[in-house]
Amino acid sequence: MNRLQIAIEHKRLANGLHVVVAPDSTAPVVTVGVYYKIGFRLEPKGRSGFAHLFEHMMFQGSANAPKMQHIKLINSSGGVLNGSTSYDVTNYYESVPSNALERVLWLEADRMRALKVDDENLKNQRDVVKEEVRVNVMNEPYGGFPWLDMPPVAFRNWANAHNFYGDFADLDAAHLGDVQAFFKTYYVPNNAVLLLLGDVRPGEGMAFAEKHFSSIPAGPAPAFADPSEPEQNEERRGNVREQFGTLPAIAVGYLMPKRRTPDWCAMALLDQALHGGRAGRIHRELVLEKQIAVEVEGGVDDLFGYNGPTQMTTKILHKPELSSEAALTAFDAVICETQENGITAGELEQLKVKWRSDYYATLESGRGGYMPKYGLMHLLACFTLFDNEPQLVNTILDGFTAVTPEKVHEVARKYLCNEKRAIVFRTPARNSLPAGAGVQEAA
Amino acid sequence: MSSRAVEVAKGVPPLAPEREVIWPKPTREKLANGLQVILAESHSIPKFHGQLIFLSGNAAAADRAPGLAEMTATVVRTGTQRRASRQLEEDLRSIGADLSTEAGSDISAITFTGLSEFAEPLLDLVHELAREASFPEGEFERERRQKLEEVKLNRTQPSSLAGERLRKVLFGAHPYSQVSPSEAQVAAYKREDLQSVYREFYTPQNALLLLVGDFEPQEMLKDIKKVFGSWSGNKPPAKTYAETANPRGRRVYLVHMPGAVQTQILAGCHAITRKHPDWIKLGLTNTLYGGAFNSRLVMNIREDKGYTYSPRSSVNALRQHGYFSVSAAVRNEVVAASLTEMFYELDKLRALPVPESELADAQNYLSGVFSLGLATQDGLLSQFSNVAQNELPEDYLETYRAKVRAVTSEELLATARKYLDSANMQIVLAGDRAQIESQATLFGDVEIFDAQGNRLE
């Protein structure tokens, strides 16, 4: 049962832009988001990492707000801002004191209408993105594991299998023509949703949206590449070298069912049974009971927001005295037990309470405490862009509440099978430390 | 310094009149056993967030072993006299709660969130952890082994290594110099040591209980008295620590990470605690320098030069001392160039008054972002927690924004001159010696360490 009702107004402007307003005057703060229905999955071939590089370019200047002005105007209004690129959407968002609402909308409309960037901006952000990849992936223990390691092992369609952060050669090859073409193709109002959450009256929010966005011309409906995968009938395995870390790591990914089906609801709860914190079966068995793993975590990257082939993934860092095969055998024992016996009604009831509690937290959650309603914004955006039904935030819990132990048992048998999974072993390069030439003394 | 003129935006809508920022009035009460309770309502979701804070952390146990309070906190959640580890975890899940236990330099804490409808069982469980943790032998051994692996892993992580070295350099013999135990120190932890830390630190006279969320405060207070009322225990004796002085003269500490494709730069100096009268002025100076996206440092070395993805500076407050730090992960070829720009921007703040419009922008930023915390339960909790832990005045939240807006350009100049001095910054570089040592020597005498903390020639 859901004890929370979110007030929502939704309409579509004549140019096709969805506008969603979720008013809540508790605090004098408003969060604004613009989501475009394009992520790194369907970025152009030969341009790996481009959707993300492009996201950076959206902060580099638009017709009336030149480079640095967008950031300056949000910060100096007392607000914070960012953007992110994921599989199937790219978002831009701001949280500001509510007196800055119109200014934020003006800025978002300005960059939806006309990006104004040059070669120098592109070179600058290409450099910044390379440092982002170095700090998060190349120079970081277990960097990119498994979100970058898994796709080339698990998938056969380039859309799902390529390097989402981008090969440096592809980043270098990107030119200003690509930027403008990508903008023209995907960043059209009819491929986007504008979201206003918090201290805004619905009438006022809709009027501002009309005022600033309605004159942006619609574009042709974007043609999306087909992300579907050929059917998988065998276990797939791959190996990646770990440059810095000292523990062997394994990631196992199982294909998920289509979003918003009864199977999807049951898999979400099964995911909780397996990965839900320290009470989750995998943590309990591998870390607490058998004590072969040092760290396990897992789940579905973006349960509500995927729009193509996706996995539920488990990540395990295990003790070095154990072989990877032995660690995998212990993991398989947890999966087999679940497939054989399913979960009990009592366990499912616990999972449902935790699920509801987590859902409320998602609706309210800030990012780092400073981006109020980020989770609600994300759900509303995905339910609008993929389902044309933002009201789903108020009813989506029902599907999870209705899941039975039998249904969980059924999806465990149907989806957790070896021929539908992929495994990546990330193996430490143990010889990483040459003997120091110097005198050893205590620091 | 920007190599390109900045253009201004055209046709920007003005800001509307500000809506008043109203902080919820907390209910405060000190129970007969000494437990200080602070409650605030926030009805955004049918949940609440809470923290039981003990005012002793790793520093207070440093004379026994580094990280001992943290290890104690870790093992606290693995069993009580009534519930084994597995039972605890299932009980938490069955009421939809999340809970963590941790310790920093100055505090130990049990942090939790759960559904309002299950507030009482969650408070029961928190109370049980605070009072009846049983430190099961097997759980202790398992957690110690995990801590060993965590310590090893941290020594492969550039930002961890840089942070650890900076704290050593800045705080010398003071316990604040320790951020992580060595493997040998972890191996030497004893269960009895954890239990004695627990007995001394986890007492109501040493504790603050903060709850923010969807509840009626008087009802909640009754529940709290019922659950925590019979608990007793004294405040641990106050500790005195070794003196530590702000290091004079700029030096470079290079942590050698063979094969690193990037260098983590971290430079710092002593600053002030949150109670210091200059705190807001220094915070505003930091905002201008590198504390916001729109700051001088980010605009310079990211948006203009593309040296780095996430440059930032911060003022870090501990209970007895504070420090200022600036960091960036940069490609190896531009270590010297990045340091030059970091120091250029620092010296500029000491040399020239900040223009009025830039000051106003920074003031709006700092006061606006402060009020974003109003919109979420954990945002509110962290604000109330900050006030309580640092014994700030009761009107701190209400008056903060006005104080930020009252700071003048002259005061900022004086603040920068008082605290920020590139000639005395201590520089840590975590990266590949072969690629960066010649750049490092441009900024001062260089000492080189390996990842384990051993000096290298």
Give the 3-state secondary structure of B243-292.
CCCCCCCCEEEEEECCCCCCEEEEEEEECCCCCCCCHHHHHHHHHHHHHC
- If you count DSSP H runs as helices and E runs as strands, how many of each does chain B have, helices first? 16, 13
Considering only CB atoms, which chain B residues are within 8 Å of A318? none
Instruction: Select the residue of A69, A78, A98 nearest B369 (Cβ to Cβ).
Output: A78
Torsion of Cα atoms, A274 then A279 then A284 then A289, to 10°? -160
Mutate to test the interface with A, among B86, B117, B149, B380 (most CBs of A within 10 A): B149
pLDDT tens-digit series, residues A184-233: 999 999 999 999 999 999 999 999 999 999 999 999 999 999 999 999 99
A436: confidence class by pLDDT, cuts 50, 70, 90: very low
Say yes or no for a CB contact (<8 Å) between A134 and B17.
no
Measured in angstroms, the CA of B446 and the nearest CA of chain A are apart by 14
Q: How confident is the model at residue A2 (pLDDT cuts 50, 70, 90)?
A: low
Q: How far apart are CA B155 and CA B451, in angstroms?
A: 6
Q: Which of B265, B271, B283 is nearest to B158 (CA)?
A: B265
Lowest average pLDDT, out of A27-31, A281-285, A429-433, B42-46, goes to: A429-433
Which of A140, A65, A57 lies closest to A108 in space, CA to CA?
Answer: A65
Backbone angles phi, psi at A387, to 5 degrees: -125, -10
H or E stretch at A355:
helix A345-364
Supply the DSSP symbol for A77.
Answer: T
Q: Where are the domains of chain A?
A: 9-213, 236-428
* ipTM score of complex: 0.95
Are the beta carbons of B156 and A436 separated by less than 8 Å? no
As a CATH number, domain A9-213 is 3.30.830.10
3-class SS of residue A316: strand
pLDDT in tens, A80-118: 999 999 999 999 999 999 999 999 999 999 999 999 999
Write phi, then psi, for B123 (nearest 5 degrees). -60, -40
| A84 at B interface, C-beta within 8 A | no
A66 interfaces chain B, CB cutoff of 8 Å: yes
Selecting from A68, A247, A354 the residue whose C-beta is nearest the C-beta of B149 gives A247
List the 10-69 stretch of B: residues with Cβ below 8 A of A.
10-21, 42-47
CB < 8 Å to A442, chain B: 453-454
* 8 A C-beta contact, residue B412 and residue B280: no
Half-sphere exposure (CA, 13 Å, Cβ side) for A82? Answer: 10
Instruction: Give one word for A365, left, alpha or beta, with left for phi > 0 and alpha for psi -120 to 50.
Output: beta
At A441, is the pLDDT very low, low, confident or very high (cuts 50, 70, 90)? very low
Cβ-based contacts of A26 with chain B (< 8 Å): 42-44, 374-375
pLDDT tens per residue across span B32-64: 999 999 999 999 999 999 999 999 999 999 999
Mark which residues 312-331 of B lie under 8 Å from A by CB. Answer: 329-331
Q: Which of B400-407's residues contact partners 24+ apart within 8 Å by CB, and which partners? A: B400/B280, B400/B367, B400/B370, B401/B21, B401/B367, B401/B370, B401/B371, B403/B280, B404/B280, B404/B283, B404/B284, B404/B363, B404/B366, B404/B367, B404/B370, B405/B363, B405/B367, B407/B280, B407/B281, B407/B284, B407/B359, B407/B363
CA–CA distance, A332 with A254 (Å, rounded to integer): 13
Task: Characterize B65-80 residue by residue with b for buried, 16 or more Cβ atoms within 10 angstroms of its Cβ, and e for exposed.
Answer: bbbbbbbbbbbbbbbb
B364–chain A nearest CA distance, Å: 5
Predicted TM-score (pTM) of the model is 0.96
- The token pair at B174 is 């003071």
Q: CA-to-CA distance for A180 and B285, rounded, in angstroms?
A: 39
Q: In this complex, do A120 and B373 lie within 8 Å of one another by their Cβ atoms?
A: no
Edge to edge, the sheet with strand B263-270 lists B312-317, B322-330, B263-270, B426-431, B251-256, B445-449, B455-456
Residues β-bridged to residue B200: none
The answer to whether B11 contacts A106, with C-beta atoms less than 8 Å apart, is yes
Q: Which residues of B touch A101 (CB under 8 A)?
A: 16
| Maximal CA-CA distance, chain B | 68
Paired residues of B189 in beta bridges: none
Rounded to the nearest angstrom, the minimum Cα separation between A341 and chain B is 19
CB contact under 8 A, A28 and B90: no
Judge: B93–A353 Cβ closer than 8 Å, yes or no.
yes
Of A138, A366, A443, the CB nearest to B454: A443
Cα A111 to Cα A395: distance, rounded to the nearest angstrom: 34
Kindly list the residues from chain A whose CB atom is less than 8 angstroms away from the CB atom of residue B153. 141, 245-247
Chain-chain contact of A75 with B292 (C-beta, under 8 angstroms): yes
- Cβ <8 Å between B294 and A76: yes
Q: Does B148 touch chain A (CB under 8 A)?
A: no
Name the CATH superfamily, with its identifier, for domain B27-228: Metalloenzyme, LuxS/M16 peptidase-like (3.30.830.10)
Which chain B residues contact residue A431 at CB under 8 A?
Answer: none
The yes/no answer on whether domain B251-456 falls in CATH 3.40.50.720 is no
Higher-scoring residue by pLDDT: A7, A437: A7
Per-residue confidence (pLDDT) for residue A438, from 0 to 100: 30
Residue written as token pair 């030149």: A66
Q: What is the pLDDT along chain B (457 residues), one digit of tens a residue?
A: 455 566 788 899 999 999 999 999 999 999 999 999 999 999 999 999 999 999 999 999 999 999 999 999 999 999 999 999 999 999 999 999 999 999 999 999 999 999 999 999 999 999 999 999 999 999 999 999 999 999 999 999 999 999 999 999 999 999 999 999 999 999 999 999 999 999 999 999 999 999 999 999 999 999 999 999 999 999 999 999 999 999 999 999 999 999 999 999 999 999 999 999 999 999 999 999 999 999 999 999 999 999 999 999 999 999 999 999 999 999 999 999 999 999 999 999 999 999 999 999 999 999 999 989 889 999 999 999 999 999 999 999 999 999 999 999 999 999 999 999 999 999 999 999 999 999 999 999 999 999 999 999 8
| Ranges of each domain in chain B | 27-228, 251-456
Q: β-pairing, B47-54 with B27-30?
A: unpaired
From B157, B255, B146, B180, select the one nearest A243 (Cα to Cα): B157
- Whole-number average pLDDT of chain A: 94
Predicted local confidence at residue A358, as pLDDT:
95
Q: Are A275 and A289 in contact (CB under 8 A)?
A: no
A102/B369 CB distance under 8 A: no
Distance between alpha carbon A67 and the CA centroid of its chain, in Å? 27
- Whether chain A has a CB inside 8 Å of the CB on B97: the answer is yes
Q: Given a cut of 70, is residue A435 above it in pLDDT? A: no
Residues of B in contact with A108 (CB under 8 A): none
> CA-CA distance, A117 to A77, in Å (whole number)?
24
Please list, in sequence order, all residues whose beta carbon lies within 8 angstroms of the beta carbon of residue B405, skipping any fewer than 6 positions away.
B363, B367
Find the CB nearest A244 among B15, B156, B305: B156
A369 pLDDT tier (thresholds 50, 70, 90): low
Which A residues 415-434 touch B at CB under 8 Å?
Answer: 432-434
B chain contacts of residue A4, beta-carbon cutoff 8 Å: 45-46
Express each pLDDT in A300-321 by its tens digit.
999 999 999 999 999 999 999 9
> What residue type is assigned to position B27 of the chain?
T
Check whether A434 has a pLDDT greater than 80.
Answer: no
Q: Which helix H or strand E contains B30, and what residues bound it?
A: strand B27-30
Residue A443 has pLDDT above 50, yes or no: no
Question: Residues of A numbered 188-217 whose beta carbons fall under 8 angstroms of chain B's beta carbons: which are they?
Answer: 198-199
Residues of A in contact with B258 (CB under 8 A): 432-434
Measured CA to CA, the distance from residue A192 to residue A58 in angstroms comes to 15
What is the C-alpha to C-alpha distance for residues B248 and B424, in angstroms, rounded to an integer? 5
B306 contact A CB<8A: yes
Closest chain B C-alpha to A124 CA, distance in angstroms:
5
Structure tokens that stand for B127 in this block: 């109370």
B251-307 pLDDT tens trace = 999 999 999 999 999 999 999 999 999 999 999 999 999 999 999 999 999 999 999
Contacts with A103 from chain B: Cβ below 8 Å: 12-15
Question: A 337-356 residues with CB below 8 A of B?
Answer: 349-351, 353-354, 356
CATH class of domain segment(s) A236-428: alpha beta
Given this model, what pLDDT does residue A365 score? Answer: 85
